[in-house]
Amino acid sequence: MIKIDKTLISESIIDNDFACNLSACKGECCVAGDAGAPLDQEELSILKDIYPKVKPYLRAEGIEAIEEQGTHILSDFDEPETPLVKGKECAYVNFTDNGTALCGIESAYRAGEIDFKKPVSCELYPIRVQKLSELQAVNYDQWSICSDACDLGKSLEMPVYKFTKNALIRKFGEDWYAELEHRATEINS
């Protein structure tokens, strides 16, 4: 483990390679599982505020789920997350003609409708951040549905922390990321 400021970082984000291969997995991480995407507290009001502009980028099922459950829900552990459509995919998901899951929030962002890209936990994936008492744990979430991403990352020699660089900077800041890069260089030499 690496400690930087108030984070404990698993070396697995340095030791493992990863690069999303959307053409292979078709965005399965937005569909599989039994919970929505984790949300930071400050994202709750953002989702509420941007929903009217995101709504045109969502499917009818997603709109129905959000309007019934809200722009976010609380998990069994009282942690905020995105709502699901009938216990399955994220309510903010839209599908292309070939069945690839895309984020409706990110679609609105790319269209210039909003200035919020998507929840940071989504951009960070396959990294998951868990709050501990005083610290945050930064871990690599290995999931079988991402095996193609692991293969692509290996062929590109792209460690998880480099693949998620922008999201890590968004979450923890430039100085934090620079320190992580420095520590990764030390570990790899």
Please state the domain count of the chain. Answer: 2
With CA atoms as reference, report the closest residue to 103 among 174, 47, 182, 170: 47
Q: What is the pLDDT along the chain (189 residues), one digit of tens a residue?
A: 999 999 999 999 999 999 999 888 888 888 887 889 999 999 999 999 999 999 999 999 999 999 999 999 999 889 999 999 998 999 999 999 999 999 999 999 999 999 999 999 999 999 999 988 899 999 999 988 889 999 999 999 999 999 999 999 999 999 999 999 999 999 998
**Residue finishing a domain among 65, 97, 117:** 117
Angle subtended at Cα 114 by Cα 109 and Cα 119, rounded to the nearest 5 degrees: 65
Judge if 44 and 80 occupy the same domain.
yes
Q: How many CB atoms lie within 10 A of CB 120?
A: 21
Judge if 12 and 62 occupy the same domain.
no
**Residue finishing a domain among 117, 141, 160:** 117
Judge if 75 and 113 occupy the same domain.
yes
Judge if 32 and 101 occupy the same domain.
yes
Strand segments (E) across the chain: 2-4, 7-9, 73-74, 80-81, 93-95, 101-103, 127-131, 136-140
Judge if 34 and 108 occupy the same domain.
yes
Note down the domain range covering 157.
1-18+126-189
Judge if 109 and 53 occupy the same domain.
yes
**Distance of alpha carbon 163 from the chain centroid:** 12
Whether residue 127 contacts residue 141, with contact meaning beta carbons closer than 8 Å, is answered with yes
What is the four-CA torsion angle of 29, 33, 36, 38, rounded to 10 degrees? Answer: -70
Strand segments (E) across 49-135: 73-74, 80-81, 93-95, 101-103, 127-131
Judge if 101 and 142 occupy the same domain.
no
Residues facing 129 on adjacent strands: 138
Judge if 45 and 113 occupy the same domain.
yes
**Residue finishing a domain among 117, 144, 166:** 117
Judge if 70 and 39 occupy the same domain.
yes
Judge if 7 and 81 occupy the same domain.
no
Judge if 30 and 108 occupy the same domain.
yes
What's the rounded Cα separation, in Å, for the pair 39 and 95?
22
pTM of the model: 0.90
